[in-house]
Structure 1
């Protein structure tokens, strides 16, 4: 499999250098990292999978069919929490296949939700070749809500930059007062080099990679593993310090854990109305629950995560949101909420978690 992938990297690079486009049938290598709460046996029962072959204990080859056609995915399950899915199919087919898996009956699978700041650190792993900055409030909130929220100067801002000066473009925009609070980095393209080898990667904030050429599949795999480790560290910080539990004592019990906090730079004019567009069981937040007012422009929500049925509580005021994860609730829920609030409401929002 590695040999096939490496040959594709080299052929893609040659095609793009010579013709600026790929030869027919020569798709780029695509990779998706997914967060899982399933065993491989449970995964194998997913109805969207037509055929499954176990290549070895840590590698599955699965066939899926959707409106874009049919094809094979390679699923690396050596990590119990974050799996890697590889494909040489078309971009449309791969995207639809991942979407179908994540939305399939029984849940248990989720995307990675990389905050804007973490996308920036991925860019620092190599030389910038491209950036994408996206703020799309209009995709979630209706026009009348956005117009009533006077703190929002923009409701949609999409900027694509390519070339070796892409990082400079990003830095200039981040330092420009009029737009700085609306710059949410959602994709980077980098050239990474090591020991005389190179790989060109495009990485998105939902954990997808498109490898646009190179001469070393091992360098691609190491890039995926490095990003996976960084994300797992963030998940572990949240789940270690911010799950709400009780510790047994000789005379009763003591509460442990505290909320994950999101601080807004754009205050919410109407919190209850804001939550009606976030806690509605729909993508991308996937939360459902009862919203109740607890004070002037402050609400509390007893919510359930559609990813795996975990319970959580939200406390929301005009300048902050607190997330209480109950029991063994998944930390990916907090990152999904934060990453999407950056993308659709406040790119300058900050995540406050304990590091130790």
Structure 2
């Protein structure tokens, strides 16, 4: 069964007809909310997801699907006019197709989804020159339906990638023959080499430049640390599309531990622009226990003053703004427009808080320059999902 989450009715019917032609049962959903409900209610084998949905960004749908143990194994292929390639792949999408799409491209989408949802063993390649470390990673990832193979050099890895298709590759950067960066470049350049999702798992502290270079190739960069086995297991099970309830109990416990830590919010400064004390308290009690630093502004004027102050004091720089729309003195729409006039704040993520889920309110927020919006009363999981999607990386 295939779930299509797409608000363009004409295109949704094209996808449905093609799905039926290829032997899939198909269900349609036109909004993010309906899409999530259908995914939980029908447990489809695969999902085709648009990014520009009327109620929420498709990225937040993808994030919620991949955070939920009941749906995270379902392969999701993005088909959209927007180009969220890096974000969508990092959240676990199996591929991106940009509209307008031709029939042949759509057939490729269906082939990818069929391959990823097919039962059978998954193959993981572990590239690590330290024998003890390699063995411990292989033990960590081994499961009933997962074949884990370990190699010690970049040249051995290239040879295995020529001979086999792997579902995921875990690699260290410091190798005896090539650097991790050189290996990734060789993999990209060589036609005969399969290029699976790559997880860089390294104890080396990366500079910002190194991280940007690696992100051109790697789905995920994991820095080795005290808790990193949980994160590594979390990332690998995501890319292998394993059903979480079938994993060994110890693996399930580790995955829960990885998800409980909101590393996205740790040490991040969030500006809450809100005049209602109860809402300020509710937001602070969600954000602060997860490691965020919360700044408060009671209206748009105070928000602009606080942001201006942060220009002179970089340690006060704000990572993201939660902007209420209805406020005295200067409302949220006006404040958002003023923020967007400043070059320094053009890319500052702004999530609007709207009092009611009115379509015109939401459109006004986006037109004013907000990245996304959420209706009150706030759904905590949806809010965390929006924060994970829009919080600047690194």
Q: Which has the higher strand share?
A: 1
Same fold (TM over 0.5): no
Q: Which has the higher helix share?
A: 2
Name the structure, 1 or 2, with higher relative contact order (CA <8 Å, separation 6+): 1
Instruction: Provide the TM-score with structure 1 as the length reference.
Output: 0.29
